[in-house]
Amino acid sequence: MQYTIGISDMRVSTQSDDILVTYSLGSCIGLAVYDPVVLVGGLIHCMLPLSKIDRKKADTNPCMFVDTGIPELLTEVYRLGAERKRLIAKVAGAASLLDAKGLFKIGERNYTVLRKILWKNNILIKSEDIGGTIARTMYLQMATGKTIVKSGGKESEL
């Protein structure tokens, strides 16, 4: 079954026939994590880097922010049996779509916060498709952990 992860949303799964997909990864960041031993994985679509700009929104929707959403995703996959040392992390997004002059650098900041959180958790990024000026769609196939990114009419495996 295919599940769509919206902006500021996440989903974890243990079902091998599930495919998790998120669309419109512009400056947002998409993170897929997968444990190939227990076949547990998850996908998150975070919009903004730091929750301190709106604590109330972070409390009601932690997935909106990288600094609160990523720990939530990790907690959920660990709860389902994944282990940190086996996690495979793949990242997409962090583009500069609406910020041509580089004033806000949301994509760049999202990516920086993501890397810091993963580093603090001893999780290395296995592959990524980030930056640029294009939006991306990201798929995580639960049976294999295969992660596909589609953008600009092209498809590639991370």
**pLDDT attached to residue 100:** 57
CA distance 59 to 52: 11
**pLDDT attached to residue 99:** 55
What is the CB neighbour count within 10 angstroms for residue 66?
27
**Is position 59 within any domain?**
yes
- Shortest CA distance to 130 belongs to which of 74, 54, 46? 46
pLDDT in tens, 3-33: 999 999 999 999 999 999 999 999 999 999 9
Q: Please identify which residue in the block is written with the tokens 């498809």.
A: 155
**Is position 16 within any domain?**
yes
Element at 130 (helix H, strand E): strand 125-130
**Is position 157 within any domain?**
no
**Is position 144 within any domain?**
yes
**Is position 106 within any domain?**
yes
CA neighbours closer than 13 Å in the CB half-sphere of residue 123? 25
**Is position 57 within any domain?**
yes
138: CATH: 3.30.1330.200
**Is position 117 within any domain?**
yes
Owning domain of residue 129: 2-152
- Core vs surface per residue 113-138: b (16+ CB within 10 A) or e: bbbebbeeeebebbebbbeeeebbbb
**Is position 107 within any domain?**
yes
pLDDT in tens, 61-115: 999 999 999 999 999 999 999 999 999 999 999 998 765 555 578 999 999 999 9
Q: How many domains does the chain have?
A: 1
CA distance 65 to 125: 19
